[in-house]
Structure 1
Amino acid sequence: MKPNEKLIDATADVLTRLLRFEYPADSVLSACFREQRALQSRDRAFMAEHAYLVLRRLRWLRAVAGEHAGARKLLIVALARIEGLGVKQLAPLISRKEAEWLETLPPGKADELSLGERTDLPDWVVERLSAQMDEESLLSLARALNQQAPLDLRINPMKTDRESVMATLANNGIAAEAGRWSPWALRLSERPSLAKNPLYEKGIVEVQDEGSQLLALLLAPKRGEMVVDFCAGAGGKTLAIGAMMRSTGRLYAFDVSEKRLLKMRPRVARSGLSNVHPVLIDSETDIKVKRLAGKIDRVLVDAPCSGLGTLRRNPDLKWRQTPQTVEELVAKQGAILAGASRLVKPGGRLVYATCSLLDAENRGVVDDFLACHADFERVPANAVLASAHVGLDTGIDLELRPDKHGTDGFYAAVLERRNTGNREKDIGQ
């Protein structure tokens, strides 16, 4: 879409608000669009796409435009240097002074930039990731994180199969392909609005990253079991777990946010599941949690985290997180995992997961937990996935990256409580 002068102004205005990093970018954009209801859908799409482009490439743009360049100048540089609009194309949309300034800017060559500027990551994130991988791997990861995420769907196996949904989408002019890993995943080549699509309205599909779908397969719930989704949020993974249980047994969806649980209710209704029980808790030590101690077959802990694995969707997170917030999150993650573990019965399964890329939030939390809980042991995630006929092997724990696996960045460890009896360890279903 070719921008006009008013659209440049509107995008620069919302960018100014976003660059304060006071609130999540999606909520700032939503508020902006509510204030400007006259905006056409294509105008909203341009504003969102280009605001997110600046957030993704902020360090590189500032290296070119100047550390103190404002939102409008950053947008102009993004249009010129990343989108490829020439000065002649931009001239009618910007002032003469801005056009002259644009022509004086340095090229921003890689050999003139720091690693943080080349990866568009804060230095503290670069330092931590550099301890986990070599520079080539880090640059590959950063390139993927700075791309827009695809739109993934999860089909509801209670209502349909993947081939039927692909055929229906094709009849509606929407191209989709089967996911690489999840048996329920579809990836769309474009990003159509699905809110009024009958497939969505009838609970036949849900929007969910393919990597996130694999967590239900690692949990591997069975019919009739007692299961807890400990940090359920708005219920994306809850729905996948409930479908695997074929709407039998009892599935508790715990969360500390009433707002998130309320968002779950219409999704559960559309899905057709009758075994989901949303429960508001105040913390991992809530009496509602304690009452279930030692009674649950399987517990999923998708812990609150830095979200650095989701930068394709939430590029503002890399600028809003700090080493201090990560340190606080690690303490919270350890407390939640320990609290959730008390629910697991002997022989039961506990899956710890985050959408972070940092070892401190992932393997570090699990290693610390196991060091203090001798009654739990690690189960190889690759073996669990193989038993579910998923040909993905990232080692003993699941570690997903957008550049290698085409998903958001995810981590998951499968743990089981030792059974003092003779029950054979359950790897799969």
Structure 2
Amino acid sequence: MRLPPAIIPQTEEVLREILRFTGPADVTLSRYFKDHPRLGGRERGVIAEAVYGLLRNRTVYTNFAESGAGSQMRRMALLGLMDAVGIEPIAGLTDEETEWLTRTSQIDRTQLPLVMRTNLPPWLFDKLVERYGEEQTLALADAMNQQAPLDLRVNALTADRDAVIAELAQAPILCEPTPYAPLGLRVIKKPALQNLPLFKSGAIEVQDEGSQLLAQVVGAKRGEMVVDFCAGAGGKTLALGAGMRNTGRLYAFDVSEKRLAKLKPRLARSGLSNVHPVLIAHENDAKVKRLAGKIDRVLVDAPCSGLGTLRRNPDTKWRQTPEGVVEMHAKQVAILGSASRLVKAGGRLVYGTCSFLNEENEDVIAEFLAAFPDFSLVPMKDVLAEQKIALEMGDYLKLMPHVHQTDGFFAAVMERKK
């Protein structure tokens, strides 16, 4: 089925806006679709796929777009559309453009130079090669250039995983248990979930398996006092609350009123009554200080570069900078230090990021332990054994897209000495 000729200038227009990198690509794309209500569902899907394809493969596309006729932005849009739907459905091409796209489509991308194949900015490519070597970096980059699967978490308060699989099959939505998270499901395709009774009743929540595992290593138990220090929209908060069987007290702290507002409808669906969302001004807010030394477990899912989520947010690698990572490190150390004051003697502090950079992970933990000698590292292999999670890890949880099929996640567990 041919696409309308307007699809080319429309893709070009939204692409020009997104490549300014003034904000997240998904926000810019949503705003564009809102401003163009006459766009049909198919056109929206094709434009989104073309844009995300370009963000994933920007280095290759930029190189290819050095040839051909017309403006470079049009050529970039055409490459995105070709990768999304092929050449035949694109209406409005000149003969020269058709010939150029045909020629370009025949290039064997596996023969391109390594830095181009990875489609990473040079600073990030160099960092990863230094840490993992060229072969592993290519495998990691290839995995991050794929679309992420849709993972769900079953709400153990109200549902059973096998029963949910059976009910989804009636929809029909096919899914399978995730390999590591005991309440996770991986959906084979990406259906709309919002109108499903299972979703409306809070029996399922969308959550990457890596994020589920991070919540699980917190090990929150019935009747405990727990703090999710950077709760955001509350995916991990809901998992923690269900793990506590809706008992005890779970504080969801965040500095963003907008993010906490997104938690409220999810909280209402979940059936949890032990969660207390709290808006804080900063990590040293008086509301935080009041709980000093009283909390059994604190999760710090720290603000980070987000480079572990490139399967979902490919624009992040182009928006992030080495200077931004340095600033992030300082912020992470400060937040972890403030959060640690909440932990009571014998309590646990869990630090996590969706990044695979040392500066945001191991280096933060080393700096924290040097400054806070009353905390000691609990090896992740011991934590995973406690939680009966069949994963081979050393001192830290390190989840990688090309190895574990999750987003890139890091976690460390520390205990305050008694």
Whether these two folds match at TM > 0.5 is: yes
Q: Deviations over 1:18-37 (max 9, x none)?
A: 11111101100110111122
Cα pair distance change 1:227/1:2, threshold 3 Å: farther
Q: How does 1:181-330 map to 2 (within 5 A)?
A: 181-330=180-329
Displacement of 1:104 in angstroms is 6.4
Displacement of 1:205 in angstroms is 0.6
Aligned partner of 1:16 in structure 2 is 16
Aligned partner of 2:94 in structure 1 is 95
Aligned partner of 1:52 in structure 2 is 52
Amino acid paired to 2:51: A
Aligned partner of 1:65 in structure 2 is 65
Residues 225 and 249, structure 2, Cα contact 8 Å, conserved in 1: yes
Q: Distance in 1 between matches of 2:101 and 2:359?
A: 42
Query: Which secondary structure does the structure 1 equivalent of 2:231 belong to?
Result: coil
Q: Distance in 2 between matches of 1:170 and 1:53?
A: 31
Residues 64 and 107, structure 1, Cα contact 8 Å, conserved in 2: no
Say which is worse superposed, 59-68 or 139-148, in terms of deviation: 59-68
Q: How does 1:138-149 map to 2 (within 5 A)?
A: 138-149=137-148
Displacement of 1:126 in angstroms is 0.8
Amino acid paired to 2:86: L
Q: Distance in 1 between matches of 2:98 and 2:231?
A: 50
Q: Distance in 1 between matches of 2:90 and 2:414?
A: 60
Query: Which secondary structure does the structure 2 equivalent of 1:132 belong to?
Result: helix
Residues 242 and 251, structure 1, Cα contact 8 Å, conserved in 2: yes
Query: Which secondary structure does the structure 2 equivalent of 1:131 belong to?
Result: helix
Query: Which secondary structure does the structure 2 equivalent of 1:133 belong to?
Result: helix
Displacement of 1:12 in angstroms is 2.3
Displacement of 1:200 in angstroms is 1.1
Instruction: Give the number of equivalent residue pairs.
Output: 415
- Identity over aligned pairs, percent: 53
Amino acid paired to 2:172: G
Query: Which secondary structure does the structure 1 equivalent of 2:395 belong to?
Result: coil
Aligned partner of 2:6 in structure 1 is 6
Displacement of 1:97 in angstroms is 3.8
Q: Deviations over 1:257-292 (max 9, x none)?
A: 001011111111110000100011111111111111
Cα pair distance change 1:343/1:9, threshold 3 Å: same
Q: Deviations over 1:118-159 (max 9, x none)?
A: 100001101111121011100000000000000000010000
Aligned partner of 1:153 in structure 2 is 152
Q: Distance in 1 between matches of 2:395 and 2:16?
A: 44
Cα pair distance change 1:2/1:387, threshold 3 Å: farther
* Root-mean-square deviation (Å): 1.9
Q: Distance in 2 between matches of 1:91 and 1:196?
A: 33
Residues 247 and 274, structure 1, Cα contact 8 Å, conserved in 2: yes
TM-score, scaled to structure 1 = 0.93
Aligned partner of 2:331 in structure 1 is 332
TM-score, scaled to structure 2 = 0.95
Q: Distance in 1 between matches of 2:102 and 2:158?
A: 57
Aligned partner of 1:85 in structure 2 is 86
Residues 109 and 117, structure 2, Cα contact 8 Å, conserved in 1: no
Aligned partner of 1:346 in structure 2 is 345
Displacement of 1:60 in angstroms is 1.1
After superposing on structure 2, the runs of 4+ consecutive aligned residues of structure 1 that deviate more than 6 Å are: none
Amino acid paired to 2:193: L
Displacement of 1:387 in angstroms is 1.9
Q: Distance in 1 between matches of 2:156 and 2:48?
A: 33
Amino acid paired to 1:117: M
Q: Deviations over 1:191-212 (max 9, x none)?
A: 1111222111111111000000
Q: Distance in 2 between matches of 1:399 and 1:220?
A: 17
Query: Which secondary structure does the structure 1 equivalent of 2:158 belong to?
Result: coil
Amino acid paired to 1:376: F
